[in-house]
């Protein structure tokens, strides 16, 4: 099998092995690691039809993680996708109305981040052993709600690691916050930041890029890595479920081998839809990749105009994991459509950093034909939840509702009736108040955990263990800091 090496989107590093890229998270020049060449799926999709999720995961991940042995990779996969998921299917696909909903929320924290963050600790600790790393690995993560808990659950009490999660104070749902602040584990730290997600994300990137901090860490026997979707070890596992979806719908006879399959993704940091783009790049005949935004529609505007402009009001919505104005993973796509030209990419990223905006060329824009975009307002998101409950007897969360609404609009305006998979990225149990009041305003008078019981009664879906576990869990993390105090907070946790 051809060895796949990685390079930074900012040109400073190349020839990096997968395990090294996973350990580093962010390249030292501030860039993101991308494959130097894109592998090709070396098994027929028809042969994957009927295979288990774990079997498909191996066939996809072995293409990208070529320095991992078969034994190591299969060990990571089998330990990640096990009884932590409440269904043997791992990622079941439910037909509802005119689409197929890929339920990515059956892991231990009931959000799609579990699909990658269940395996990342295994990939990372295996990589540390392969590269003879003695330092303690410090996972530094910013979250808009879901990554934080999924990363905490993955890394809690993993030997040789510590994890620090920053989340925007007041910018996550009550359930999301309760999940994080009750996290057990002597190696875990959770901190609320007085700012929004972009502030948290920028603060984390600044700490990563601080050379003096890096030297201080090394002297103390620590090294940083990331559990955010900037880590290629997060992105590769996400490619799997799009390949799995195509194979599963082949098995069901919904599509024939070679037929296009549209993919709809509620999008914030751009990692989840980029994984679909990578799946298409390795040979899966996906059709349109439909990027669905909420009222923070910076990505919708980018695909419409070719201009990325974060100079706008930051909206707090009912789909907080998409409340993002700086979509970090878009840099990987920009680098690619710039002809893998690091200089062009750096110029655009500098413009974003300095002026809050950049514009791609017409030549680059022409390479975005795989994508189209739409957005849903808060009212439209609520309407979609109600519509799906009333018409399909299927209750979806707010993020999935954004994608569902955008797809309904896309189908009506384009007439494209090719089968579509909608990435259902979170359980409705994670956003009970927004979901239940969208169905009926009367639920707004109820407290959060009464809403959980009402949702159970209405949906017939058992309350997930992730919710039951936090009903009476003790709050263990109460730290709050200013944006300017993030680095100081990290040092204090590490006793530097």
Residue pair 487/164 in contact by the 8 Å Cβ criterion: no
DSSP string covering 148-210: HHHHHHHHTT-TTEEEEEEEETT-S-HHHHHHHHT---TTEEEEEESS-HHHHHHHHHHHHT-
User: In angstroms, what is the C-alpha Rg of the chain?
Assistant: 21
CA distance 377 to 481: 31
- Sign for the pseudo-dihedral over CA of 120, 125, 129, 132: positive
Q: How many CB atoms lie within 10 A of CB 423?
A: 27
For residue 277, CA distances in Å to 111, 201, 393 come to 21, 23, 31
End-to-end CA distance of the chain: 44
Q: Which residues are catalytically annotated?
A: 113
For residue 489, CA distances in Å to 156, 250, 327, 434 come to 19, 50, 25, 33
Query: Which residue is it, tokens 């009884």?
Result: 83
CA distance 406 to 113: 22
Among residues 119, 124, 185, which one has the least CA distance to residue 152?
A: 185
Among residues 379, 370, 270, which one has the least CA distance to residue 325?
A: 270
Residue pair 268/310 in contact by the 8 Å Cβ criterion: no
Contacts of 42 (CB under 8 A, 6+ apart): 1, 59, 63
- Sign for the pseudo-dihedral over CA of 177, 182, 184, 189: positive
Contacts of 15 (CB under 8 A, 6+ apart): 5, 7, 36
Among residues 495, 448, 496, 493, which one has the least CA distance to residue 190?
A: 493
Q: How many CB atoms lie within 10 A of CB 313?
A: 7
DSSP 426: B
Characterize the bridge pairing of strands 357-359 and 307-309: antiparallel
Residue pair 210/488 in contact by the 8 Å Cβ criterion: no
Characterize the bridge pairing of strands 188-193 and 479-481: parallel
Residue pair 157/120 in contact by the 8 Å Cβ criterion: no
């Amino acid at each position: 099998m051809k060895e796949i090496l990685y390079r930074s989107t900012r040109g400073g590093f190349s020839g990096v092995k997968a395990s090294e890229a996973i350990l580093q998270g962010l390249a030292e020049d501030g860039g993101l690691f991308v494959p130097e060449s894109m592998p090709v799926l070396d098994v027929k999709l028809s042969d994957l039809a009927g295979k288990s999720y774990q079997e498909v995961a191996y066939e996809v991940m072995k293409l990208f993680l070529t320095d991992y042995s078969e034994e190591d990779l299969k060990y990571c996969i089998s330990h990640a996708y096990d009884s932590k998921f409440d269904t043997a299917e791992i990622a079941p696909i439910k037909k509802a109305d005119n689409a197929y909903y890929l339920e990515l929320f059956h892991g231990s924290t009931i959000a799609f981040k579990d699909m990658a963050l269940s395996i990342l600790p295994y990939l990372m600790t295996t990589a540390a052993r392969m590269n003879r790393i003695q330092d303690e690995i410090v996972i530094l993560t910013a979250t808009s709600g879901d990554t934080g808990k999924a990363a905490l659950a993955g890394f809690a009490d993993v030997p040789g690691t510590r994890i620090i999660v920053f989340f925007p104070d007041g910018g996550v749902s009550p359930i999301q916050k309760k999940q994080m602040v009750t996290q057990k584990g002597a190696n875990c730290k959770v901190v609320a930041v007085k700012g929004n997600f972009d502030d948290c994300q920028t603060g984390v990137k600044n700490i990563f890029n601080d050379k003096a901090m890096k030297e201080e860490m090394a002297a103390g026997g620590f090294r940083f890595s990331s559990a955010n979707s900037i880590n290629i070890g997060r992105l590769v596992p996400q490619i799997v479920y799009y390949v799995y979806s195509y194979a599963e719908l082949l098995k069901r006879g919904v599509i024939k081998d070679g037929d296009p399959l549209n993919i709809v993704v509620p999008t914030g940091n751009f990692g989840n839809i980029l994984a679909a783009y990578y799946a298409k790049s390795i040979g899966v005949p996906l059709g349109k990749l439909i990027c669905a935004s909420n009222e923070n529609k910076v990505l919708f505007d980018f695909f419409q105009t070719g201009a990325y402009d974060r100079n706008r009001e930051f909206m707090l919505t009912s789909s907080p994991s998409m409340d993002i104005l700086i979509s970090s993973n878009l840099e990987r796509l920009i680098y690619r459509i710039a002809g893998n030209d690091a200089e062009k990419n750096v110029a655009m990223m500098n413009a974003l950093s300095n002026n809050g905006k950049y514009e791609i060329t017409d030549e680059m824009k022409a390479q975005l034909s795989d994508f189209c975009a739409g957005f849903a307002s808060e009212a439209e998101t609520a309407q979609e939840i109600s519509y799906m409950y009333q018409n399909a007897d299927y209750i979806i969360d707010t993020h999935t509702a954004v994608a569902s609404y955008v797809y309904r609009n896309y189908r009506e305006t384009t007439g494209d009736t090719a089968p579509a998979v909608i990435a259902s990225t979170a359980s409705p149990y994670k956003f009970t108040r927004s979901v239940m009041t969208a169905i009926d305003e009367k639920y707004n008078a109820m407290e959060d955990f009464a809403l959980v019981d009402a949702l159970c009664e209405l949906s017939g879906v058992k309350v997930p263990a992730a919710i039951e576990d936090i009903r009476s869990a003790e709050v263990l993390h109460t730290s709050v800091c200013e944006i300017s105090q993030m680095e100081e907070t990290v040092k204090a946790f590490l006793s530097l």
